[in-house]
Structure 1
């Protein structure tokens, strides 16, 4: 197993990890609850420390707004916070900062699948950049979300007050500059409006 330091994360790769099953990866994550752990499509394991307190505050406000929308639209699907991992079609396992899965997709899963890293790609995902994240790395990750089936993906960068909106079939994201704006959930999350000012 070869460790590689990448920005502010530790990437593990090697023959053993390439053969690690989804069940073994889930157990590995349960053994290290103090870490944020993801797996790439190449079965590299990415270890990240918990975010700083200011990022945690922003994430709570992000998820709070999404939850308030969900309270009025429960029948449409389920919302998830940053502790939720999803097994994507390409084999990667990611944990977005906020996400939503339609009722049709969620209810098609067994209870056992729901209790682990559900084999489903959320239709809506948000990645909220923390001070130690690389914008470039996150931008590449947003296209991974789209390739796996996300219908709307947002990358929010508080320090520059930039919001990048990703949609299938668009080679480049739409840039919304300034956190005085609100973002629309469009047809994916009808009626949802994210007040970016709360993430300052």
Structure 2
């Protein structure tokens, strides 16, 4: 099963607030909203994908606890992006001063901020083998949406093709082959992530 995208344009254009309420009324359904207003229903992931996602969050969290430079978020967090969408990266990090600038209410709801750093993992839903329906293009578009909303650094990890796409503000996408050691560069100083 892949993500299901519903175009509701002929019926309704969901605002950020309406999308938030829809999520609160349906807490057992993982959803995102694209900047064009499409509703995206996310399927659960299988064990291998969930383990990899957890490993990346743990590594990012350990680095952050050591440095104290910001806040780390899991894939359950929806961010209200300045570019218009409501998105949930597989892992995210926000610089502390930017997080502190949000009000208490903004922090409780879907934070109206784009993370400084995100990881998106191209996963195989429920552990099934990748197929033609497990498309890369929607994830690449999502990464561009983050960039358009203020993302500084992002990694699209693609185990199926054994690559990582590195997204940086104002630069062309860089593709590296796996295995690789990724650097957090000046966004996440001294953070290294080994991907095999």
Query: What is the TM-score of this pair, normalised by structure 1?
Result: 0.88
The match for 1:100 is: 93
Q: After superposition, what is the alpha-carbon deviation per residue over 1:86-140, rounded to whole angstroms, capped at 9, x for unaligned?
A: 1111210000001111111100001100011100011101100111442121112
Q: Does 1:25 align with 2:25?
A: no
Q: How many residues align?
A: 188
Q: Does 1:116 align with 2:117?
A: no
1:141-152 to 2 correspondences below 5 Å: 141-152=142-153
Unaligned runs of 5+ in 1: 1-5
The match for 2:160 is: 159
How much has 1:159 moved relative to structure 2?
2.0
The match for 2:8 is: 13
Q: 47, 56, 65: which is aligned to 2:41?
A: 47
In 2, the alpha carbon distance for the partners of 1:101 and 1:8 equals 26
CA contact (8 A) 1:35 1:50 kept: no
Q: Does 1:86 align with 2:79?
A: yes
Aligned CA-pair RMSD? 1.7
Q: 122, 133, 136: which is aligned to 1:129?
A: 122
Worse-superposed segment, 27-36 or 185-194: 27-36
Structure showing the higher helix proportion among its residues: 1
1:179-194 to 2 correspondences below 5 Å: 179=179, 181-194=180-193
